[in-house]
């Protein structure tokens, strides 16, 4: 709110800027509607689908085209995706040990990037 007031004051002093009445109207509008504006901006910046739920388990492969892949562990991941107010979609993924390791490495890189920010 202080930043808004400082910005509006600067705009009123600027040549070709806004009048003090206009600044007062903008400030009042912001005070009355800032929560709605914030929610609207969040909704606009979201991707369409959100992750509603995720389940996982580790199984052993019982069948495979290649005999050497039988009885190897696989991770099964089921994600529930959906838009607000709409029915969910389910995505089921299967990862072998190498893919799980790669995914964990990628997640660690993402976490490191976020920590730096």
pTM of the model: 0.51
CA distances from residue 11 to 25, 33, 34, 40, 87 in whole angstroms, order as listed: 13, 21, 20, 25, 47
Instruction: Kindly state the tokens that stand for 68.
Output: 């050497």
> Mind listing the pLDDT tens digit for each residue in 26-85?
999 999 999 999 988 887 776 777 888 999 999 987 777 777 777 788 999 999 998 777
Tens of pLDDT, residue by residue over 84-106, are: 777 889 999 999 889 999 999 99
Residue with token string 């009355």? 32
The span from the CA of 18 to the CA of 47, in Å, is 36
Q: How many Cα atoms are found within 13 Å in the side-chain-facing hemisphere of 97?
A: 6
pLDDT the model gives residue 62: 76
């Amino acid at each position: 709110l202080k930043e808004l007031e400082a910005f509006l004051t600067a705009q009123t002093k600027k040549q070709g800027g806004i009048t003090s009445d206009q600044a007062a109207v903008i400030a009042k509008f912001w005070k009355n509607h800032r929560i709605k504006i914030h929610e609207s901006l969040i909704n606009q910046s979201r991707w369409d689908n959100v992750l509603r739920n995720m389940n996982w388990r580790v199984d052993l492969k019982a069948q495979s085209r290649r005999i050497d892949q039988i009885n190897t562990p696989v991770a099964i991941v089921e994600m529930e995706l959906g838009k607000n107010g709409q029915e969910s979609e389910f995505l089921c993924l299967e990862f072998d040990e190498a893919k799980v390791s790669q995914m964990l490495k990628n997640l660690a890189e993402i976490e490191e990037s976020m920590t730096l920010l």
